[in-house]
Structure 1
Amino acid sequence: MPIDVLSEIHRQMIELAWAVEPPPTRDRPGDLRSVGVSVRGLDVAIPVAIPADLHEWSASTGELEDRHPLEHAAVHHAWLERIHPFVDGNGRVGRLILNFMLLQRGYPPAVIHVDQRPRYLRALRSADGGNHRPLTEVIARAVSGALNRFLIPNLAGDARLVPLSSLAAGGPYGAAYLRQLAIAGRLRAIREGRLWLSSRAWLNEYVGSRDPRGTRPRAG
């Protein structure tokens, strides 16, 4: 990832926001940080070290070495956040670059939801201390969630067995409720370890067995 591309991404992402509420420094969108900042839980780079640190980071982004692609993305995401090259907007830029790296390796984007943010921030702090496993797990779970929520439902046919979370995406029932139905035997499903699988066809069958008021029709 060339440094000038990184700066251009920051400029495009932050320009409108800074036009309304500029930072207290004289930094412009896309400018590398010229002042010291304090980021809770992270030991960020001092301004004079940012160009050299970014050059090293940039040269390393394309080399997997012996890492799994998800671990590689986690390492470089944490590394960029630790450099903290801009006075503001580092998290947004960093997560966009993270997803770009994932897409390059054939993975869907990792969407970090609001309720996952505390765990994500703890994982970033662990990565800053040299332990990248928690952050890799957070990213892996986010990628898996994207597969289940967006890709599998669109690619799988009606008879294809998919996780209940995939069936729940965009539908009237949540994954937890579908799991209750599966356990009770009201929704046809197959259990593989801790994972319940069902299909769109079986879900439609369950929906068709209910009247519009949500009660099961009487037999006979």
Structure 2
Amino acid sequence: MPLQRLLLAGARRAVFGSAAPALRGLLGIQPLQFSTICGQIDTSTQSTHTAQSSETAMERTTDSTRVGKSLRKGLNSIKGNWHNFCTAVYKDVTYKELKNLLNSKKIMLIDVRNTWEIIECGKIPGSVNIPLNEVGEALQMNPEDFKEKYNEIKPSKSDSLMFSCAAGMRSKKALDIAISLGFTRSQHYAGGWKEWSTYEHSEKKQGN
């Protein structure tokens, strides 16, 4: 850079200026040779600065590569979750369909209401109570912890899950959480406990 060359030239004059004749005599060299040596010192210094600049540029390139890899990893994760949402089946299940599925034992029914609601109102036979605020954590537990907490075998991502609540709002949120975690064979019973209890009561009356 021009400023650095000016500073180097000034420093050289300050160091060698007045002592130049004596130094030439001690070294036994001619004025032209002395100037050449000083020029070589300048060139060497400039080369050092150039090498340092190259190292800095390489470090910046390495940092950029790391950032690029992190961004690609994040984008791939988002892409995977988006794929899960796109490929999932969002078909609401009816009362009769749910009853048949429960009888076939081909699904795991998860009731996401609060525990006190189940104690007060009742629950669909065969359902497992996992409150909505625990669903995300529960589906990521190891099998031993899940069994200990919910007294059921932890479902795998290939299993069919069914979510229910009181009237379909919380079960839909639980469905979205499950699908985002890779449980793409998940559905929800939109009618919830209210619909189930109404149909069950009606069927019992007809039976009598």
TM-score, normalising length from structure 2? 0.23
**Which structure is higher in RCO with an 8 Å CA cutoff and minimum separation 6?**
2
User: Highest CA radius of gyration, 1 or 2?
Assistant: 2
Q: Structure 1 length as normaliser, TM-score?
A: 0.22
Q: In proportion to residue count, which structure has more helix?
A: 2
